Structure 1
Amino acid sequence: MDVKMTIAIRGDLKISCGKAAAQAGHAAVECVLAAMGDAKWRKWLDQWLEEGQKKIVLTADDAAHLYQLHERAKSLGLPTAVVIDAGLTELPPGTPTAICVGPAPDELVDKVTGSLKLYK
């Protein structure tokens, strides 16, 4: 069983590459912290850490899409987190920017984000 993490960033936001990278980083940290507190998730986290921490950054359509993905991940029992921007740089405070799913088995993560395109 391979494990991975996917991060989806809103494609409708006009943000810099640096901002997108920061939001992806926030998302990854949030999911790792969540996974540390659950026995099943911790097993996936440990495997993910041992295997090189595979991450794939994808594009979500908009805020509503982020929340749809989040609900789907939760319904499958996967680690997930939505990043809400603090509004210190490019976006208004409270803007949802990204979602993380995993680390979890590839086949489960793909049920949530498998149809999304790579972030550009």
Structure 2
Amino acid sequence: MEKMLDSTQLVSGVAVLLSFLAGYRYGIRNLVDQNKSTEEESIAEERVYSDSNELKMILVVRNDLKMGKGKIGAQCGHAAVGAYQNCMKKFPSLVRRWDDSGSAKIAVKVDSEGELLSIFRAARDRNLNTCLIRDAGRTQIAPNSKTVLAIGPAPTDEIDQITGHLKLL
């Protein structure tokens, strides 16, 4: 009985130690990330931290590719996750604010690759976070087809200046 108690205590102790070390490691990393103050993040924070600025993400979908509903859903998922990951690297406080406000995402459509790329360039010119998805071409569409562009999270009024004319998907 005593040996069993010792092994249980040993396993528990190791588990606690590993949890502590993992928490310490990730806690330090998060602390370092939170204390990073790049000029780029400061500019973004100044732009979005006014109470009047709501945040959203727009998913611009190419309608001319005639993708099925499932394909559109998957491509939008890739774009949203990619934009989220990009923004977490550059503007983590912006992502936290967007998360806290409900993580609004809106899907709109364009009728050509040219229109999609024009919107992409306009978003980049305004220094908005973007993620442009190219499909691998294994199922419904040709390889390297540009399918969906995610813009944001970013202030709604800035995104609307670029995509406000587009119709909902």
2:78 to 26, 31, 45: 26
1:8 corresponding residue in structure 2: 60
Spell out the pairing of 1:1-120 with structure 2 (5 A cutoff): 1-38=53-90, 41-119=91-169
Question: TM-score under structure 1 normalisation?
Answer: 0.93
Unaligned 5+ runs, structure 2: 1-52
Q: Determine which structure has more spread, i.e. the larger CA radius of gyration.
A: 2
The alignment yields a C-alpha RMSD, in angstroms, of 0.9
Specify the SS of the correspondent of 1:94.
Answer: coil
Question: TM-score under structure 2 normalisation?
Answer: 0.67
Query: Counting strand residues as a fraction of each chain, which structure ranks higher?
Result: 1
Structure 2: distance between partners of 1:24 and 1:34 = 15
Shift of 1:88: 1.4
Query: Counting helix residues as a fraction of each chain, which structure ranks higher?
Result: 2
Query: What one-letter code is carried by the residue in structure 2 that aligns with 1:50?
Result: D
Structure 2: distance between partners of 1:61 and 1:113 = 13
Alignment coverage as a number of residue pairs: 117
**Does the Cα contact within 8 Å between 1:8 and 1:59 map onto a contact in 2?**
yes
Q: What percentage of residue pairs aligned between the two structures are identical?
A: 35
Unaligned 5+ runs, structure 1: none
Shift of 1:60: 1.3
**Does the Cα contact within 8 Å between 1:66 and 1:82 map onto a contact in 2?**
no
Structure 2: distance between partners of 1:61 and 1:28 = 20
Shift of 1:55: 0.3
